[in-house]
Amino acid sequence: MAICSAHTTTTSLHSPCTTTVSNAAGFRQRQVIFFTSSSNRRSCGGGGGGRRHHGGARTSCFQVSCSVDKPVVIGLAADSGCGKSTFMRRLTSVFGGAAVPPKGGNPDSNTLISDTTTVICLDDYHSLDRNGRKEYGVTALDPRANNFDLMYEQVKAIKDGQAVEKPIYNHVTGLLDPPELITPPKIFVIEGLHPMFDQRVRDLLDFSIYLDISDEVKFAWKIQRDMAERGHSLESIQASIEARKPDFDAYIDPQKQYADAVIEVLPTQLIPGDNEGKVLRVKLIMKEGVKFFNPVYLFDEGSSISWVPCGRKLTCSYPGIKFAYGPDTYFGKEVSVLEMDGQFDKLDELIYVESHLSNLSTKFYGEVTQQMLKHADFPGSNNGTGLFQTIIGLKIRDLYEQIVAERAGVPAEAAKV
Ligand SMILES: Nc1ncnc2c1ncn2[C@@H]1O[C@H](COP(=O)(O)OP(=O)(O)OP(=O)(O)O)[C@@H](O)[C@H]1O
Ligand SMILES: O=C(CO)[C@H](O)[C@H](O)COP(=O)(O)O
């Protein structure tokens, strides 16, 4: 049984936990661990972009002797503009309550906090700011533009139940802002370009997800957002995708081999030759043998199944909907793959599909459909992207409850959120 609250904050000094907090000089201090980040504006840009120079955060550690509920750590990897924020909104919604930026903090903070979950964006570990990257001719995807030592130290500290002062990368100014305090939540999500790149960070993850968006779809989404909403030209979008591609292939894409679940988004196969990116074929690739994660299945676990649910109970206009399910291998590992090609006409009819899926980790019949209807305005709500993101959100809730139950030595039922 934990003594401290999971949300150990500076204001909880008078909480029931016995906290011995002193530094080397014997000064009484806040019950947090401060990692005094060396990544301020100029020291980041000025050191040649090397990991060594920027990596060694000076750490002044204050020991915390109280026992806390340590966070469950989730990693979400994807390229920019591939749906990470949308996924995070679906995930935090599963736990209830909205996710908001830290109150009273930097208005350009990338962090989102809800009752149970804190989501940090790994862009905050850029060691080179926008000018620095320009000066050294590296992209943000290049490991040399990121401080993995600090990322590791801080994720580890949070996982150990200790607060940290995390830097902020300001996407508005392109500069590194003064750090913000992050206290350990129940569920700590690290999302961004590199959550599985560094083995030390990877080993801290209790569950990992990779959003694998095919080039054609990525391009279609970018056009939709950056042209329609941000006024960029087609040529500039094309150029930016091309410029990122070599580093994306070298450093981002390979992380999918380590993910426990991959959501792969491809052009539809229902319309021959289509690469418009409007109708999508989406695969949920689920690794077998992951502790506390039982893959979802369609009809019969382990069988290979193809299912066209269109008919009396599911309205499907052209080009229809097709599901597939079955075992496969992915980077040499056994996986189960659930696939949906096409899109729903009437979202409330999703209940029909839901009733044929098992191992969903729902708390009541129809919870997947309810979640999807609740966020019908989110991108991807009428296709497999929204469906599989919602399912993974439910699986993460289940994983969290099982981990908590195991730590407390009680049945999982007792640890329900
Ligand atoms: N499932 C989807 N279906 C259709 N479009 C989508 C989907 N997910 C994301 N998009 C498009 O991509 C854009 C970016 O989505 P989102 O903000 O969730 O991505 P992100 O990875 O967090 O982006 P960034 O890293 O740039 O902040 C959305 O505005 C939308 O245009
Ligand atoms: O790949 C990215 C992750 O979101 C961004 O391009 C990177 O963080 C740099 O950001 P900006 O373009 O705002 O300087």
405 token code pair: 């139950």
Contact 77, 95 (CB under 8 A): no
For tokens 């990368």, what's the residue? 169
Residue 361 has what DSSP assignment? -
CB atoms inside a 10 Å sphere around CB 24? 8
Query: What radius of gyration, in Å, describes the C-alpha atoms of the chain?
Result: 22
Q: Which residues have CB under 8 Å from 236's CB, separation 6+?
A: none
Task: Output the pLDDT for position 381.
Answer: 95
- Map residue 134 onto helix, strand or coil: helix
State the pTM of this model: 0.85
Q: Which ligand is nearest to the CA of 240?
A: 2
pLDDT value at position 2?
30
Q: With beta carbons less than 8 A apart as the criterion, state whether 23 and 86 touch.
A: no
Q: To which residue do tokens 């450093």 refer?
A: 251
SS3 308: coil
Ligand nearest to the CA of 169: 2
Q: Which of 225, 244, 283, 382 to mutate to test the pocket of ligand 1 (most atoms within 8 A of CB)?
A: 225
- What the block records as the tokens of 147 is 């401080």
ipTM for the complex shown: 0.96
Residue nearest atom 19 of ligand 1, based on CA coordinates: 83
| pLDDT of the chain, 417 residues: tens digit per residue | 232 323 333 222 222 222 222 222 222 222 333 333 333 222 222 222 222 223 333 333 333 333 347 999 999 999 998 999 999 999 999 988 788 999 999 999 999 999 999 999 999 999 999 999 999 999 999 999 999 999 999 999 999 999 999 999 999 999 999 999 999 999 999 999 999 999 999 999 999 999 999 999 998 888 888 877 777 888 988 898 899 999 999 999 999 999 999 999 999 999 988 877 789 999 999 999 999 999 999 999 999 999 999 888 888 888 999 999 999 999 999 999 999 999 999 999 999 999 999 999 999 999 999 999 999 999 999 999 999 999 999 999 999 999 999 988 887 777 777
Q: Where in the chain is the domain with CATH 3.40.50.300?
A: 67-259
Whether 245 lines ligand 2, by a CB cut-off of 6 Å, is no
**Could you give the C-alpha distances from 172 to 13, 105, 175, in angstroms and in order?**
35, 15, 8
Pocket test for ligand 1, best of 85, 139, 218 (most atoms within 8 A of CB): 85
Nearest CA to ligand 2 atom 2: 80
Which CATH number fits the domain 67-259, given the four candidates 1.10.3720.10, 3.40.190.10, 3.30.1540.20, 3.40.50.300? 3.40.50.300
For the CA of 381, the nearest atom of ligand 1 = 1
